[in-house]
Amino acid sequence: MKIAARFYIAAILAFLYLPILVMMAMGFNESPLYELPFSFSTRWYQALAGNAPLVNSGINSIWIAVATSIIATVLGTMASVALSRRTFRGKTLLQLMLLPPIAIPWLITGTAMLVFFFYSGIGRGLHALLIGHVALAIPYVVLVVGTGFQTVRADLEEAAMSLGSTPVHAFFSITLPLLYPSILGAALFAFAVSLDQFVISYFLATPGFSTLPVQIYSAIRKGFTPEINAISTILLVGSMAVIVIFALFAKPGGVSDKR
Amino acid sequence: MPLDPANSTQLREPGGSRKPLPPWASTAALLVPTYGWLTLAVFLPLCTMFAFSFLTATPMGKAPIVFTFKQYRAFIDQPYLLGVAWQSLLMGFWTTFFCAVLGFFAALALVRATEGKVRETLLILVLLPFWTNGLVRVFSWTMVLREGGFLDYAIHSVWPGAGSVGFLYTRQAVVVGLVHGYLPYMILTCYIALVTIDNTIVEAASSLGARWWTILWKILLPMAAPGLISGSVLIFVPVIGSFMEPRILGGRVGVTMGTVIEDQFTQAFNWPLGAALSFTMLAVVLGIFATFSGVLRRGTAL
Amino acid sequence: MTNVEVRSIAKNYGSVPVLTDISTDFTQGSFTSLLGPSGSGKTTLLRIIAGFIIPDQGNVAIGGNDVTRMPVWARNIGMVFQSYALFPHMTVNENVAFGLARRGIKGEESRKQVERALELVRLPGFGDRKPKQLSGGQQQRVALARAIVTKPSVLLLDEPLSALDRRLRQEMQVELIRIQKESGLTTIFVTHDQEEALTLSDKVAILDRGRIVQIGAPTEVYERPKTRFAAEFLGDTNFLTGTVVAGGIRLANGSTVAVDAPLPATGSEATVAVRPEKIVIRDVARGGKDTDRSNRVSATISSSVYAGTALTYEAAFDGLSFKIFAQNSDARPHSVGDVVELTWSPLHTVPLEAAA
Ligand SMILES: Nc1ncnc2c1ncn2[C@@H]1O[C@H](COP(=O)(O)OP(=O)(O)OP(=O)(O)O)[C@@H](O)[C@H]1O
Ligand SMILES: [Mg+2]
């Protein structure tokens, strides 16, 4: 029974990883038509360097992810402070308002942004992408930081105030250091959400300004070349790295425990 | 150490000097940026699009704006849409079905056959692909499924005479890609439900002579039900709205509600129709969420 | 000298009154316990004094200054929380130095004061540990050191010992008194453990549903409870109700109980309380020796519970039931069915105020 179960898990993992590994391998295959047998080459990675649209969109992606991560983390953490530590009417409603960006299919959110941004004069391009990405990332930040708040007792801030700290000083000297792993986790999460975001970017990108996933999509639709494999591999490895770092940091108390 | 209270040291920041903000003001100051942003980027757009779904045509230039309900009659006026909707539902159903079967047993295997560090590692391995780019993963399947792709190559290497089994650009290919994309979700929700099952219950049942399928049917499946249901909802909803997977893996046969809506916005420029179709879909989605909201809350509470 | 003063404090949550018209003084250097059942408003009152809650009505003054509208951080208080609330990311030294730093005391001076505070709570040499590396009792001492090192105007403690086990709690009670006396801090201590309140305090304030029903020295509130609630809350009590006559009350069965205290007008109804340990059992059959206690009734032992050093009897008397605590010093304990005489002094017969 146990052996069968382990075999089954191995099969599931193979199903999940095999295509990705095949795709990665093909990026190192000499043949432009993915012909086998395999012969190792880095020519597609070299070709990437000369592919200005891809390289530029990759740089755009990283910048947007960085900016999204910073903005969403700051705003989301602020909201999380209010939602976790203050009592006020309408709190439940505000918490529910975090769900639509997560639960509504991105296709609908993305097209709605397209329509609204077009008619409100916001338009498309970098700033539109940034507005969209931050909006998608904020709910995740609020949720991750909010979970972190549950591990930081509220009476610590009260203790600090009883010792003479203003609420602001109490937040920065007590809560923030204790919350730091969650905030860092949230920032990485927001980074990953933005870096991998395709659907919304697809509707908000312009021919002159797009992100890596959008470029990859249009490349795929034009026809397969191993260059797509190469750039995909880079994107994949990049976002996996971010997530692995996130997993290491977001463990409750993961950082603060290490002394 | 006699502490002399009369001699007590003064606080550096006597409260009188700078009046603190009233609590409601600071609370509002903390919340306004986030909710302002969400309003600008999500809620206003959704409202605008809702208004759009009642227009006859995309407003352009000086053309008069005319309101109508006709966009919501699209399924009657354009019967081919019914077929597309049916295909989308089928696609959602099969994807959810395969995810449920594969995911339930994977979660079961994780819970019953592994423990400790190994289980933790396997769980992370299962969930890791979920956080990688969906587009890239869909693209990966084209490498496997295309004629002369990896699948063909693997089969030919053991049975050289076989014909091509590659099935890229079929509905099956779309389902395979979608299952690959959403399976980790189901494994996670089922795992959360199953991991709480006390081992002693299963042992007690088998000591009472219950066969394994009785245990499965009478104990494990009912207890995993919240996980299965929430997993199913969380998969079904995005799948019926997917457009990139059908486009890449389905090619010409990959016409779904998702691709039709996308077309209205990027090709046909019939934004009102796209909006109406979107909101019809959203109504279905919200209906599903509302029906299962209780289970969802329990099933996804980590 | 009055140090902390609260005047006509009232606080409602919605339409629910949590505190009603609380007025009292806390003398410089005194140790006062706020005692009351759960939900009686003890924490609320303490947090109003601390400044975490602004009362709907009334004033709080510390050291003669009205601080009602002053935020917590400007009040110069010391507070110990039930959960200790030590900052987990700081060492013991950093925790204790936190309040000093807020007062601009840094470097060598801060180090010296921290060291002295840790000595006072008997934790010298623990300064470099993190709170997690300390036992519950040790964490409590650090919390105390952190609260008193800043020489606050008032020390506030909200059930600081309730998370400790019984033995440790008694040990900490002794420590707490010693530290309080040595530091001379005006201390307000919330508890719902009556024994703890009686042991520790100079004064006990009994709260019931948001009101102070009685405040006074432990012996006073225990020996002379003012109301039925106060009498019942501070241990077991027997109640007798009757009509007021000269020098006592007449019970329904006609016998008279002498009371050595002012009573309401003759002819009105009154209730008196008698503590179970004040009653002496005289075994009529065995001819136990008579005492000068002038209140006596004959009763029948209806139950007897043996607890080593002491015995608890119940004796039935004309449809009433009396509880009696007796030291285990009699040659032979009384047994159920024995007819006995219960005697007690009029001094221990406490008239109660009519229920509010
Ligand atoms: N923030 C609040 N909102 C509404 N009601 C409250 C709030 N805080 C306290 N209360 C109510 O006020 C009453 C007094 O609460 P308080 O915490 O002062 O009681 P307590 O005497 O400290 O009780 P305990 O011994 O259980 O700690 C309770 O009935 C409580 O339900
Ligand atoms: Mg309390």
CB B231 within 8 A of CB B264: no
Q: How far is CA A230 from CA A49, A219, A226, B129, C310, in A?
A: 11, 12, 6, 18, 87
Helices (H), chain A: 2-26, 43-49, 52-85, 91-96, 99-103, 106-120, 126-151, 154-162, 167-170, 176-196, 199-204, 212-222, 226-250
Q: What is the mean pLDDT of residues B216-238?
A: 86
**CB–CB of B13 and C102 under 8 A?**
yes
Q: What is the mean pLDDT of residues A174-181?
A: 90
Give yes or no for residue B4 having a pLDDT over 60: no
Which residues of chain C does A161 touch, with a Cβ-Cβ cutoff of 8 Å? 52, 71-73
User: What is the distance in A from the centroid of ligand 2 to the CA of C10?
Assistant: 17
User: What is the distance in A from the centroid of ligand 2 to the CA of C38?
Assistant: 7
Q: Angle between the C166-183 and C136-148 helix axes, to the nearest 10 degrees?
A: 20
CB C95 within 8 A of CB C133: no
Sheet order of strands, C31-35 included: C77-80, C154-158, C187-191, C31-35, C203-208, C211-216
CA distance linking residue A30 with residue C35, whole number of Å: 84
The string of pLDDT tens digits covering residues C327-351 is 887 767 888 888 888 888 888 889 8
Chain position carrying tokens 């006699």: B2
pLDDT given at position B5: 41
**CB–CB of A159 and C87 under 8 A?**
yes
**Which residues have CB under 8 Å from C107's CB, separation 6+?**
none
Give B157's pLDDT tier (boundaries 50, 70, 90). Answer: confident
Nearest protein CA to atom 6 of ligand 1, as residue? C13
Q: Which atom of ligand 1 is nearest to the CA of C42?
A: 21
The string of pLDDT tens digits covering residues A53-64 is 888 888 999 999
Give A257's pLDDT tier (boundaries 50, 70, 90). Answer: very low
Q: Kindly identify the ligand whose nearest atom is closest to the C-alpha of C45.
A: 1
Please state, rounded to an integer, the average pLDDT across all residues of chain B: 83
Q: Where in chain C is the domain with CATH 3.40.50.300?
A: 2-231
Among A17-31, A128-142, B140-154, which range has the highest average pLDDT?
Answer: A128-142
Selecting from A9, A100, A199 the residue whose C-beta is nearest the C-beta of B109 gives: A9
pLDDT given at position A252: 47
CA distance linking residue C153 with residue A164, whole number of Å: 13
**CB–CB of A9 and B122 under 8 A?**
yes
- CATH homologous superfamily of domain A52-254? MetI-like (1.10.3720.10)
Q: CB of C347 within 8 Å of any CB in chain A?
A: no
Q: Write down the CATH number for the domain with range C2-231.
A: 3.40.50.300
* Six token digits for residue C162: 């309730």
CA distance linking residue A198 with residue B167, whole number of Å: 25
**Which residues have CB under 8 Å from A27's CB, separation 6+?**
A44, A45, A226, A229, A230, A232, A233
Burial of A14 (0-12, 13-18, 19+ CB in 10 A): exposed
Ligand 1 lined by C42 (C-beta under 6 Å): yes
The string of pLDDT tens digits covering residues C255-301 is 888 888 888 888 888 899 999 998 888 776 655 555 556 788 888 89
The string of pLDDT tens digits covering residues B245-275 is 999 999 888 899 999 999 999 888 899 999 9
Strands C187-191 and C154-158 turn out to be parallel
CA distance linking residue C174 with residue B43, whole number of Å: 62
Please state the domain extents for chain A: 1-41, 52-254
Q: What is the mean pLDDT of residues B144-162?
A: 84
Q: Write out the residues surrounding ion ligand 2, Cβ under 5 A.
A: C 43
pLDDT given at position C143: 95
Q: Which atom of ligand 1 is nearest to the CA of C45?
A: 18
Of A165, A183, A187, nearest to A174 by C-alpha is A165
The SS3 assignment for C136 reads helix
The SS3 assignment for C8 reads strand
Q: Does ipTM top 0.85?
A: yes
CB C8 within 8 A of CB C61: no
Question: In A157-195, which positions are buried (b, 16+ CB within 10 angstroms) versus exposed (e)?
Answer: bbbbbbbbbbbebbbebbbebbbebbbbbbbbbbbbbbb
The string of pLDDT tens digits covering residues C69-82 is 899 999 999 999 98
Q: What is the mean pLDDT of residues C148-172?
A: 89
Quote the radius of gyration of chain B (alpha carbons, Å): 27
Search chain C and give the residue with CA nearest A178.
C89
Question: In B70-93, which positions are buried (b, 16+ CB within 10 angstroms) versus exposed (e)?
Answer: bbbebeeeeeebeebbebbbebbe
Q: What is the mean pLDDT of residues A176-193?
A: 88
User: What is the distance in A from the centroid of ligand 1 to the CA of C43?
Assistant: 7
Helices (H), C33-165: 42-50, 92-102, 107-120, 136-148
Of B277, B297, B299, B301, nearest to B80 by C-alpha is B277
CA distance linking residue B19 with residue A167, whole number of Å: 12
CA distance linking residue B87 with residue B91, whole number of Å: 6
Which residues of chain B does C53 touch, with a Cβ-Cβ cutoff of 8 Å? none
Of C217, A220, C157, nearest to B140 by C-alpha is A220
Q: Where in chain C is the domain with CATH 2.40.50.100?
A: 237-356
Search chain A and give the residue with CA nearest C132.
A257
What's the DSSP call for residue C9? E
What's the DSSP call for residue C133? G
Q: For residue C324, what are the β-bridge partners?
A: C313
Q: For residue C206, what are the β-bridge partners?
A: C35, C214
User: What is the distance in A from the centroid of ligand 2 to the CA of A22?
Assistant: 63
Q: Domains of chain B, with CATH numbers?
A: 80-301 (1.10.3720.10)
Q: For residue C297, what are the β-bridge partners?
A: C342
Q: Which of A79-83, A241-245, C58-62 has the lowest mean pLDDT?
A: A241-245
CA distance linking residue C116 with residue C122, whole number of Å: 10
Sheet order of strands, C295-307 included: C280-283, C339-344, C295-307, C310-317, C320-327
Residue ranges of E strands in chain C: 2-13, 16-27, 31-35, 57-62, 65-66, 77-80, 154-158, 187-191, 203-208, 211-216, 238-245, 248-250, 256-258, 269-274, 280-283, 295-307, 310-317, 320-327, 339-344, 350-351
pLDDT given at position A154: 86
* Six token digits for residue C356: 């509010």
My answer on whether omega of the bond before A37 falls inside 30° of 0, hence cis, is: yes
Search chain B and give the residue with CA nearest C103.
B11
CB B138 within 8 A of CB B249: yes
Q: Which of A140-144, B294-298, C181-185 has the lowest mean pLDDT?
A: B294-298
CATH 2.40.50.100 for domain C237-356: yes
pLDDT given at position C286: 58
Q: For residue C27, what are the β-bridge partners?
A: C2
Residue B119 has a CB neighbour count (10 Å cut-off) of: 16
* Six token digits for residue C184: 């001379």
Q: What is the mean pLDDT of residues C144-157?
A: 94
Of B33, B22, B88, nearest to B237 by C-alpha is B88
Q: Which of B27-41, B77-91, B207-221, C112-126 has the lowest mean pLDDT?
A: B207-221
Q: At A117, which amino acid appears?
A: F
Q: Angle between the B257-266 and B80-113 helix axes, to the nearest 10 degrees?
A: 120
Helices (H), chain C: 42-50, 92-102, 107-120, 136-148, 166-183, 194-200, 218-223, 228-233
**CB–CB of C183 and B3 under 8 A?**
yes
pLDDT given at position A258: 33
Instruction: Tell if the pTM clears 0.90, that is, is over it.
Output: no
Which residues of chain C does B5 touch, with a Cβ-Cβ cutoff of 8 Å? 3, 28, 151-153, 184-186
Strands C154-158 and C77-80 turn out to be parallel
CB A100 within 8 A of CB B42: yes
pLDDT given at position B33: 95
